[in-house]
Structure 1
Amino acid sequence: MVSLGGLARKLFGSANERRVRSYQPKVAAIAALEDQMKALSDEALSGKTQEFRKLLAEGKTLDDILVPAFAVAREASRRALGMRPFDVQLIGAMILNDNAIAEMKTGEGKTLVATLAVYLNALAGRGVHVVTVNDYLAKRDATTMSKLYSFLGLTTGVIVHGLTDEERRTAYLCDIIYATNNELGFDYLRDNMKYERNQMVQRDHAFAIVDEVDSILVDEARTPLIISGPLDDRSDLYNTIDAFIPMLSEEDYEIDEKQRSANFSEVGTEKLENLLRQAGLLKGESLYDVENVSIVHHINNALKAHKLFQRDKDYIVRNGEIVIIDEFTGRMMPGRRYSEGQHQALEAKEKVQIQPENQTLASITFQNYFRMYDKLAGMTGTAATEAEEFANIYGLDVIEVPTNLPIQRIDEDDEVYRTFEEKFTAIIAEIKAAHERKQPVLVGTTSIEKSELLANLLKKSGFDKFQVLNARYHEQEAYIVSQAGVPGAVTIATNMAGRGTDIQLGGNIDMRLERELEGMEPGPELDAKEQAIREEVKKLKAEALAAGGLYVIATERHESRRIDNQLRGRSGRQGDPGRSKFYLSLQDDLMRIFGSDRMDSMLQKLGLKDGEAIVHPWINKALERAQKKVEARNFDIRKNLLKYDDVLNDQRKVIFEQRIELMDATDVSSTIADMRHEVIETMVRVHIPERAYAEQWDVAGLKEKVATTLNLDLPIEQWATEEGIAEDDIVTRITEAADKAAAEKAERFGPEITAYVERSIVLQTIDNLWREHIVNLDHLRSVVGFRGYAQRDPLQEYKAEAFELFQALLANLRDAVTMQMSRVEIVREAPPAPTLPVMEAHHVDASTGEDDFDEGAANYVAPEDRNPQDPATWGRVGRNEPCPCGSGKKYKHCHGTFENA
């Protein structure tokens, strides 16, 4: 019996098919213009760009000019790149232009698809960002596709690691910018830490196309981008605590691999308390006394480092550093560090140099960064399994684009063995058989450790004709992947997401030409060599096709179906034949964690012998259900994290917008005056409550507060004795005195210096308070979950308290700016006597990395000889000395902030 839904699909097609069909009229209209475009000269074709820009300036929309613009880009691509986009590629580009995700199988030419949507949107003149997963792909795609863009009169920039601010600014001014997600996010954070508008490098967030969109917007979105600064060195503490963990036995802790958590048992806690007491690290009686919060945090990190984090799976040790490995792509992530002391715990475990812990200066999640774009699109081979997440978080539909040619790959049922040994024995036998028949083989593993284990087992069995591709050999990855389709080639790879290079049967011609013709002079010899390579690749492709195409062998299932599909999708490119098979064992992580005990006992009862495998479609469906459960749980975790981050993001937007307004303003004196007036009103209300009798007024407290905040010595005690005086009169008198002092100071400084000092003080104060606020919210996040035990919603509690903290930040901002403005002075130093050379002795403060002047330095005045009210008597003050004005702050945070020598 056919359901109504099934009947509707048969009659009208699925929603995806209907959406794809809706683009067909435009595809036909583009095809109708093809002959007309071919007839144009290069100059006339290129000139179309200016025609389109003129139409947009006259009020036309991008959709109005889509058909002729795509026709121009298609013809320009044929001339500049030697590639003419297929009809399905036009559909993919229209999907991108419609603010959606185009799911296109591997080898369908996603890089070329993007150029059509990029060209159309770049005509608006606001810049288009094409986001890639690594620097190599950003450079490669920018270099290749810039031929097309420059032919059409557009400029191309590329943002990679190591560029100067000037180089970045120039790149961002281009029409099209290729960059990695990390570089874009970090540039945004750095821009919002600048003090001058012209120092910022990014200009707009108009349109972004994200390549490997599932990898960037789902997998990497779990880790926020953080810019941090070092705290004090505590390597001794990490090493001491690390030495305790090997002393513990299994009864001392509990490990939960599903939740990736590790906790100490009661027995383990007692044992640790004794060890910490002996080391002099325990304060009070119990480990869980409030004074030991920091110690508890460190010992939990040390336990996780030893029991949850695996070397060569989660991280590798390279050149004396711990380098994180991305679990989804198998790539190294140099420069990325685990936060909150976890990285230091791993460094202590591996006995490498411990880097200082960092304090967060600025942070943002990829979800919130990419949601800033007016228009966002993405492309990948595997997005359908995460369609709900893309729709909920980014408002992006996932549309599957049909392949140019029908898929001929055969996907076989999984083979399940009882043990690792049996599984790997079967895999080795299958690899050897495929190699014998000259079929290229790609073997997928989930970690470096597993890829090297398989490589060692192959060597022991007498087979050594293979290549290993994992994070250790990151530099050669593109070439290894490009030649994995040669007949008889065996390539062992750790995860295949975002490699960016297709596996072409017979080998990749372009890669071979680039490598083998390097350094040769143009001439008959080079032409002959090129022709020979082309003939050889053609012959090798025929051999690989005859052997059945690329054979993908997977050594286990990943938690995410997408990663399995990415691996499987490497085979069957552009209608080529191919084959894929997954080999599993009950000892695999996924099977072990998700209840394989019952299956093992059941298979033994059924009489499954050693070396035998169970193969059945039901097994595949059961595994898929387990993977769906994991995906749903991971989505819930990401969704929950985002709800909390959205609270911080709303506040971040307010702060960053405020900073930009301040940088753009030529004069912020009215803002500072408003702050000063609010501060005065608040301090008077605190010390002179409304409707209080004169004898209840805290006159002494108010006088002291006025002196510390406004740097004014006012006769408040005399005012308070005047008959009929009210608190409003006190507010008015203090305000008048403060405004007068500010006006006199502004006159002494001059308008230019006053404007600079005022803007700089406000920006620096905002930044310092914002950093403290981020830390406070982190601490709040770590404990607010416990409110659930009191039947209160942790998220609502977090929102309420985060709002209160933000209000406190704004109040503190007013106080701090008013205090600094009342005390700031410009010190003009007399030039040294010409007969005596100035000798400045200074050292670097190890904790801050800043210079501090020695007491023996020239122009130094002893503290007792300085007049706090007269900066001219202070002489040369060390940056880390207490400020002579008596504020209690270091000189660099008080009067020293704005010296103008």
Structure 2
Amino acid sequence: MLGFGALARKVFGTPNDRKIKAIRPLVEKINALEPEFEKLSDEGLKEKTDEFRKRLEAGESLDDLLPEAFANCREAAKRALGLRAFDVQLMGGIFLHQGNISEMKTGEGKTLVATFPAYLNALEGKGVHVVTVNEYLAKRDSEWMGKVFAALGMTTGVIWSNMPDAEKLAAYAADVTYGTNNEFGFDYLRDNMKAELSQLYQKHHHYAIVDEVDSILIDEARTPLIISGPADDRTDLYKTIDQIIPLLEESHYEIDEKTRNVTFTDEGNEFLEQQLVARGLLPEGQPLYDPESTTIVHHLNQGLRAHKLFQKDKDYIVRNGEVILIDEFTGRMMPGRRLSEGLHQAIEAKEGVAIQPENVTLASITLQNYFRLYDKLAGMTGTAMTEAEEFMEIYGLGVVEVPTNRPVARIDEDDKVYRTAAEKYRAMIEDIKKAHEKGQPILVGTTSIEKSEMLSQMLTAEGIKHNVLNARHHEQEAEIVAEAGRFGAVTIATNMAGRGTDIQLGGNIELKVLRALAENPEADPAELRAAEEAKHAEEKQKVIEAGGLFVMGSERHESRRIDNQLRGRSGRQGDPGRTAFYLSLEDDLMRIFGSERLDKVLKTLGMKEGEAIIHPWVNKSLERAQAKVEARNFDIRKNLLKFDDVMNDQRKVIFKQRREIMGSEDLSDVVRDMREEVIDDLLDEYMPPRTYADQWNTEGLYAQVIEKLGVDVPVMEWAAEEGVDDEQIRERLIKATDEMMARKAADFGPETMRTIEKQVLLQVIDTKWREHLLKLEHLRSVIGFRGYAQRDPLNEYKSEAFQLFQGMLDSLRVDVTRQLAHVRPLTQEEQQQMLAQMEAQRAEMQRQMEQAAAASEAKALERAGDADPASSGAAPGFVEDDPSTWGNPGRNEKCPCGSGKKFKHCHGRLV
């Protein structure tokens, strides 16, 4: 018998069904226009774009234009790429235009879907940003989809890190700009450190489409983007603390794996005090938790976290003497990303590599607050439904599940739970062997590099040929994924989120054609393609008969979404497939979230070794555990965001002020108002209202007037005059400072003076904001303790952050007034000294560059000395810092750099 909820869904449909039903008439309208747009010439498609822009200016809305714009875009894609969008792709595009998240399964063609709303919204002329998870995808998609936009008469740009400034400005000026979430966020921060409006990259935040939206807006949103500068070098402190941590015993600290937190016990604190005093880091008699010891306590905590919570080859790898973080969701390396507050340095000390100096924050923003700047936001992914509540609450984004073009034919098996990890891995190897014998391609998903390499060793021992895809083999990623669907292929992958390359049954046809062309450059491309396509069709049929792609999960992730992403790799576009998760009571999720009861149940059932428990109830209880973890992680992110919102309100005020200053030609009135406020504050302090003249501190006022206002006026004599009040003194000070500034303007010239005012204002704002960020960081790190006094830490933070902001604005006025009061033209002699200093600096830089070049040359000669005499220099196109130019040499082949060494001993070194 059906429950009320199920009965209502059967009669009325789910809310998702109703959304799909509501836009079907729009899709039919687009389809009805197809014959009309097919008749247009290539030039006619571009003319339609101009026509749409004119209609927008005449008052029509984007919604009015949608059916025709989508029909035009579909025709352009058909001509430029040979791809005709399915109805479900048009649906996905409509939901994106409406500012939703379109949940579309893997292989449904999300890259093409984005072109429809991007084209429609770019007609407004404010630019559209398409956000991807990595630079490879940004470049690939911009080149690929750029053909569609070019056919429509629109321009496409792509941004990447370390891109020349002029090229980046041009990329942002395009109608549609592709780039990564980090680069868009960093460019926003960079814009707010610039001095001229013409240098700004992002003129508008009009409309953004975020690909792999769950990965970017949820997984990556936990850590803010930070632009930083170097701070004091504390290498010795990190090294000393790193020597102390291994001496700790288990009774000295407590680890909470659920919250990933570590704390010292009372016994541990006593032990640390003795060790620190012995090493001269703590004065004798000074307790560890004295306010003077705050810095040392902070670094001890970070050292303990580095040793006990961060594991090599899971959270980070060491490559070429550098600690590189690994993204826990995608398994990718994150070069250039560093943990803050000395934690990265603590890990470097632990691994014995060179310790990079700590940094101070110059500018910072969370991804949540960056993407909330956009007037309209949309996203695409294969897995968003489990996080629908967070998307709505944080970003105001609805999630719509778009139906697949063909029904899903994949078989999702119930989870198999074993008592020990060893039993689980043995069962996996047996199932791999069975599937491999019939040629079924297999994708094994793991949660860490360590586990992927352990499975790899087990497969090697069984003589099964396979590929491993993890952060170590990142360079061959696209090729390994493209080959994973071939007959008999076995691939082990660490986290498959956002790989951007489909696993096609029988392998990737484009890759096969390119490979065949490389082997037979003289052959006719058309004939070669036809031959490869025939072979591919034959192989694909064999794979289908073997059961399609078999996806095996080696354990459940904390988030159901990550599991669904792995599952979604199988069964694309109606292909057959099979998925299964293999678990054990020793897995992190089962161990941390209460498997003791389950272990007792399994023992009571008398399970034999190697036996698995398989039941839908197990799946349900696991999903409940995952949902609890997801809810807890959501609360953590929500709480972090509440604190960041306090800073974000202040950030918006400062950044808006900067833009207004950059856009102003004449700031003399702003500067004058600041000066008058400084005079008012000085008079309030030294000649308080409702006080008698004999209570005034005129000496103090005189000193401050010289220091802050830069004028030497007889304040004490004025105050001694009969009947003079503070208002008269105020007027005289204003008159004196106005005259002084007028003389400066005459000396410098009015235009130069306006430029100086602008530069001083921007420079002081940036310095003060930087100092303010540091104060807020320190406040944020201690405000939690207010909870012990039954006070809400968030309210306390808001109140104190506001007071700090108020104080920052007051000191900003004083600094601007002081700097402008003391500015003066350089004498001839000073100008010559300055030129001589600049020339000396230039010569020193030149010397350092020549030294670096000589060292590089010596290194090359040294390599050549080690080389095989038969070695004939670097391979054509080889670029030292770009692994994509190295080709794909085997581990024991010669290195393409021309050193003559084996690849594994040269550029192929893993560590």
Change (3 A) 1:25 1:842: closer
Change (3 A) 1:718 1:520: farther
Residue matched to 1:259: 259
Matched residue type, 2:319: R
CA distance in 1, matches of 2:93, 2:281: 62
* 1:562 matches 2:569: no
Q: Tell me the CA shift for residue 414 of structure 1.
A: 0.5
CA distance in 2, matches of 1:167, 1:364: 25
Residue matched to 1:645: 644
Q: Tell me the CA shift for residue 527 of structure 1.
A: 3.3
CA distance in 2, matches of 1:81, 1:702: 75
Matched residue type, 2:337: R
Q: SS at the partner of 1:377?
A: strand
Matched residue type, 1:454: L
- CA deviations 1:389-408 (Å, max 9, x no partner) are 00000000000000001001
CA distance in 2, matches of 1:622, 1:7: 25
Q: Tell me the CA shift for residue 514 of structure 1.
A: 2.8
CA distance in 2, matches of 1:115, 1:264: 54
Q: SS at the partner of 2:281?
A: coil
Matches within 5 A, 1:274-285: 274-283=274-283, 284-285=285-286
Residue matched to 1:738: 737
Contact persistence 1:128–1:208 (CA under 8 A): yes
- CA deviations 1:533-564 (Å, max 9, x no partner) are 21221111000000010000000000000000
Q: Which segment drifts farther, 196-205 or 470-479? A: 196-205
Change (3 A) 1:171 1:843: closer
Q: Tell me the CA shift for residue 605 of structure 1.
A: 2.4
Q: SS at the partner of 1:163?
A: coil
Residue matched to 2:872: none
Matches within 5 A, 1:618-633: 618-633=617-632
Matched residue type, 1:91: M
Residue matched to 2:158: 158
CA distance in 2, matches of 1:791, 1:814: 37
- CA deviations 1:651-674 (Å, max 9, x no partner) are 000000000100110011110110
Residue matched to 2:64: 64
Matched residue type, 2:381: T
Change (3 A) 1:837 1:421: closer
- CA deviations 1:247-292 (Å, max 9, x no partner) are 1111111111111111111111111111111111113521111111
- CA deviations 1:518-542 (Å, max 9, x no partner) are 4865x65433332222122111100
Change (3 A) 1:524 1:326: closer
Residue matched to 2:170: 170
CA distance in 1, matches of 2:684, 2:515: 77
Change (3 A) 1:53 1:832: closer
Residue matched to 2:272: 272
Q: SS at the partner of 2:114?
A: helix
Residue matched to 2:181: 181
CA distance in 1, matches of 2:832, 2:487: 83
Residue matched to 1:338: 339
Residue matched to 1:398: 399
Matched residue type, 1:712: V
Q: Tell me the CA shift for residue 602 of structure 1.
A: 2.5
Contact persistence 2:221–2:368 (CA under 8 A): yes
Change (3 A) 1:709 1:550: same
Residue matched to 1:361: 362
Q: Which segment drifts farther, 541-550 or 597-606? A: 597-606
Matched residue type, 1:819: R
Matched residue type, 2:145: M
- CA deviations 1:5-39 (Å, max 9, x no partner) are 33221112110000001111011111111111222
Matches within 5 A, 1:470-481: 470-481=470-481
* 1:798 matches 2:797: yes
Q: Which has the higher helix share?
A: 2
Q: Which segment drifts farther, 45-54 or 332-341? A: 45-54
CA distance in 1, matches of 2:125, 2:670: 35
Contact persistence 1:832–1:838 (CA under 8 A): no
Change (3 A) 1:531 1:619: same
Residue matched to 1:655: 654
CA distance in 1, matches of 2:708, 2:814: 7
Change (3 A) 1:323 1:831: closer
- CA deviations 1:378-399 (Å, max 9, x no partner) are 0000000000000000000000
CA distance in 2, matches of 1:274, 1:683: 51
Q: Tell me the CA shift for residue 793 of structure 1.
A: 1.1
- CA deviations 1:670-691 (Å, max 9, x no partner) are 1011000000011011011111
* 1:103 matches 2:103: yes
Matched residue type, 1:327: E
Change (3 A) 1:842 1:377: closer
**TM-score computed with the length of structure 1 as normaliser:** 0.92
Residue matched to 2:427: 426
Change (3 A) 1:833 1:206: closer
Matched residue type, 1:783: V
Q: SS at the partner of 2:63?
A: coil
Matched residue type, 2:52: F
Residue matched to 2:488: 488
Matches within 5 A, 1:853-864: none
Change (3 A) 1:839 1:740: closer
Contact persistence 2:239–2:349 (CA under 8 A): yes
Contact persistence 1:571–1:580 (CA under 8 A): yes
- CA deviations 1:222-243 (Å, max 9, x no partner) are 0100000001111111111101
Matches within 5 A, 1:650-689: 650-689=649-688
Q: Sequence identity, in percent?
A: 61
CA distance in 1, matches of 2:519, 2:442: 32
Q: SS at the partner of 1:493?
A: strand
CA distance in 1, matches of 2:523, 2:588: 57
Change (3 A) 1:845 1:620: farther
- CA deviations 1:66-101 (Å, max 9, x no partner) are 111111111111111100000111101000000000
CA distance in 1, matches of 2:609, 2:519: 56
Matched residue type, 1:213: V
Q: Tell me the CA shift for residue 603 of structure 1.
A: 1.4
Q: SS at the partner of 1:179?
A: strand
Q: SS at the partner of 1:23?
A: helix
CA distance in 1, matches of 2:514, 2:60: 44
Change (3 A) 1:837 1:64: closer
* 1:302 matches 2:303: yes
Q: Where in structure 2 are there 5+ consecutive unaligned residues?
A: 849-911
Residue matched to 1:207: 207
**TM-score computed with the length of structure 2 as normaliser:** 0.91
Q: CA RMSD in A?
A: 1.9
Contact persistence 1:165–1:201 (CA under 8 A): no
Contact persistence 1:74–1:85 (CA under 8 A): yes
* 1:761 matches 2:760: yes
Q: Tell me the CA shift for residue 597 of structure 1.
A: 1.9
Matched residue type, 1:367: Q
Q: Tell me the CA shift for residue 44 of structure 1.
A: 1.6
Contact persistence 2:459–2:465 (CA under 8 A): no
CA distance in 2, matches of 1:605, 1:93: 54
* 1:380 matches 2:381: yes
Q: SS at the partner of 2:828?
A: coil
- CA deviations 1:568-607 (Å, max 9, x no partner) are 0000110011100000000000001001122213312221
CA distance in 2, matches of 1:655, 1:371: 17
Residue matched to 1:720: 719
Contact persistence 2:747–2:825 (CA under 8 A): no
* 1:13 matches 2:5: no
Residue matched to 2:770: 771
- CA deviations 1:760-797 (Å, max 9, x no partner) are 10100000000011111111111111111111111111
Matched residue type, 2:429: I
Residue matched to 1:240: 240
Residue matched to 2:443: 442
Change (3 A) 1:808 1:520: farther
Q: SS at the partner of 1:312?
A: coil
Q: SS at the partner of 2:504?
A: coil
Matched residue type, 1:317: V
Matched residue type, 1:159: I
Contact persistence 2:128–2:208 (CA under 8 A): yes
Matched residue type, 1:313: K
CA distance in 2, matches of 1:842, 1:126: 43
Q: Where in structure 1 are there 5+ consecutive unaligned residues?
A: 850-901
Change (3 A) 1:529 1:818: same
